[in-house]
Amino acid sequence: MQTLAIALFAITYILLLLLPRYRPYIALVSAGVFVAVGIVPLNTVFGFIDWNVVLMIAGTMGIVSLFIESRMPALLADLILEKTPTVRWAVVALSLFSGIISAFVDNVATVLIVAPVAISISKKQGISPVPSVIAVAIASNLQGAATLVGDATSILLGGYANLDFLDFFWIQGRPGMFWIVQLGAIAATVILYFTLRSMTGAVQPQERTPVEDRFPGFLLVLMIVLLILASFIPEKPAITNGLICVALFVVGLIRDLARGGTLEQSMKAIKDIDLFTLLLLMGLFVVVGGLTQAGVIERFAAFIARTGQGNVFVVYTLIVWMSVLISAFVDNIPYVATMLPVVGGVAAIMGVEPNLLYFGLLCGATLGGNLTPIGASANITGIGLLRKEGHEVSAGQFMRMGVPFTLAAVTTGYILIWLLWS
């Protein structure tokens, strides 16, 4: 059964890499095969799916769609630009702004919010929008690891390790991932500032974006507040966070209809929920559950522990930088979904604090996507927007900004996590 499970998983992962447009179907078919051959008992299939994670992602994406439609993020970007003296500082400010949004909003949605502003600035200045859009995309990826709702990988970690919203800020008397990411962002932003040294000129004034509806912004803030409050409930249902996110999205839809919105507008917000990602995750949860059931995860964890020769620092280093390299070419959602039980197993075998390895995995896998233009969905989205504007971005162009930015952020996080958690 172990050999069969490994073979099925290898085939699944190869197909996920070769056929990115069909990833959800590949994952679901693979899950079905795991059930059909008896690795996963039919009556345990739904138990392997983390419904809290699925509902959180769905609800958050829906609220973000309403938030984008309100145009509030564009107005905030305009207000920031009014305070920046030069184009160089405007791009840095926009990257920081996209990072702040991305800590609470999906990375791709953040790029869709901020990148058009960066393109608009570039047009008015008569310069290429490529550097500014890349800066927005890589900053969005960086901050996705800062909070429980910042990225699908963070939600996955929260679900697997039973971490609540506040645990990303402070856990077991020590700083959580939020502060680690912020220090990494400071180091990366300094590098970004020097990378953009060729961008000169003053920012031309532009009109503020009109905003007619501020309610979606209130919904987003309320979601964060309720997730924080839920973290204080000692024995809550496992899907509490997911229900909060979905319920607030439903409130937003009902409110839109009540104030004269059309059913078509409501359907657009529902369609903006990335069913592609949700189906992919559901299939992967079952596949990874099958690997666990067959004992493969336990064996792989033991292999990593042996490779590190019992040295915690070597194992930690291996997990962080292996994650960076793999995430540069592989979507980090299936990678993190697969590696979380492996990392948990390594921590149990070696008797080390699991958060050391969990945070190391998140640091490497989330930030590592900035190495290449295909390493993260936000990067692909940004490049797609540039292509629509007639700008083709080469891998070399992207990596001249992405590589130093990533190395600064990951190295900072790598050192801080070790100092705080070892």
pLDDT tens for 187-226 read: 999 999 998 887 777 776 667 778 778 888 888 889 878 8
The answer for residues whose C-beta is within 8 angstroms of residue 254's C-beta and 6 or more apart is: none
Helix, strand, coil % (nearest 5) of the chain? 75, 0, 25
pLDDT at 32: 94
pLDDT at 321 over 70: yes
Q: Residue 420 corresponds to which tokens in the numbers above? A: 């705080």
pLDDT higher than threshold 70 for residue 128: yes
Higher pLDDT, 132 or 264: 132
Tokens of 214: 């501020």
pLDDT in tens, 53-100: 788 878 887 887 888 788 776 777 677 777 888 888 888 988 998 888
Q: How far apart are CA 247 and CA 360, in angstroms?
A: 33
The answer to whether residues 90 and 220 touch, using CB atoms and an 8 Å cutoff, is no
Best CA proximity match to 116, nearest among 77, 162, 165, 174: 77
162-172 confidence digits (pLDDT tens): 888 889 999 99
pTM score, two decimals?
Answer: 0.75
Q: Facing residues of 202 across strands?
A: 86
Position 330 pLDDT exceeds 70 = no
Asked if 81 and 203 count as a contact pair (C-beta separation under 8 A), the reply is yes
Cα 130 to the chain's mean position, in Å? 22
